[in-house]
Structure 1
Amino acid sequence: MSFSGSTEDRLAIRELLDIYADGVNQRSADIWGSTWAEDSEWNLPVVPGMEEIKGKANIVNAWTQAMEHFPFVFMIQSAGSIDIQGNTATMRSYTSEVAVLADGTELRPSGQYDDKLQRIDGQWLFVQRSFQSLHGE
């Protein structure tokens, strides 16, 4: 089974995924950053210099700097699986993005995140997101 845990928890995790994408689409570090735990880790092996970033402040700072290179970004995400075990969860999610560089070059990456989440003070947050490219740049 691809999904386990209570409907309420699965919905909260799906909403976290939606908030993450909304933060990207709104270009809001506050919205996007609200999805991360303080001791989190973001792994983007396809992006030089962003292979492993640790700590929420460092993650948000790296994301903010990266977003400066893209006058337009649009992201859609969906959950492929969610497995909840008490106050921890794993999720496989898929992302499709359109990003435009300052010179007008359009990128259309599609990829997979392998996610680890934790319920902290009643709120689900990402503690680790590890990306792999499936297609595109």
Structure 2
Amino acid sequence: MFTGPLEDRVAIAELNGVYADGVVRFDAETWGSVWADDADWDLMGHKTKGKDAIVGFWNGAMGGLEAVSFQCVPCMIAVTGNTATSRVQTQEILKPNEGPARHVGGLYEDALAKVDGRWVFTSRTFRIVAEFGA
């Protein structure tokens, strides 16, 4: 369900676009710009706390990849004042430095906050829903 001011929901959808753009271009600065300083990231049970640690972990994970195609679609955004929750479906093609490509369908469950007039993720939890080529 999509609830709350349209302007905020569009900004959150665009935040997901920035996230995806950073992934595809292996751009840590762009990708890292979407996180709150004290954010939490749960990537399939690997929990990381704080923006700097999250970006560091992501850089390490991306180092094993030759190429990534990443698409995401918000399927729920609920805004209440300066906080929000969302669910985002993802489709990824991951080409490791060695070995065959994997296709991954996933789901993010998010908490967000509006900080200094812009939305950031305060928490993201990711799980794989479907995977092929693993």
TM-score, normalising length from structure 1?
A: 0.94
Is 1:94 the counterpart of 2:93? The answer is: no
Counterpart residue number, 1:60: 55
Q: Which amino acid aligns with 1:35?
A: V
- Identify unmatched segments of 5+ residues in structure 2: none
Fraction of identical pairs, as percent: 39
Is 1:116 the counterpart of 2:111? The answer is: yes
Q: CA deviation at 1:44?
A: 1.1
Q: Which amino acid aligns with 1:34?
A: S
Distance between the aligned counterparts of 1:86 and 1:22, measured in 2? 27
TM-score, normalising length from structure 2?
A: 0.96
Q: CA deviation at 1:102?
A: 1.3
Encode CA deviations 1:8-67: one digit per residue, 9 max, x unaligned: 101100000000000001110000000000000110126xxxx10000000000000110
Distance between the aligned counterparts of 1:83 and 1:90, measured in 2? 5
Q: Superposition pairs for residues 1-137 of structure 1, below 5 Å?
A: 2-45=1-44, 51-136=46-131, 137=134
Higher normalized strand content (fraction of residues): 2
Encode CA deviations 1:62-116: one digit per residue, 9 max, x unaligned: 0001100001011000001000010000001001000111113211111100000
Count of residue correspondences: 132
Distance between the aligned counterparts of 1:98 and 1:45, measured in 2? 17
- Identify unmatched segments of 5+ residues in structure 1: none
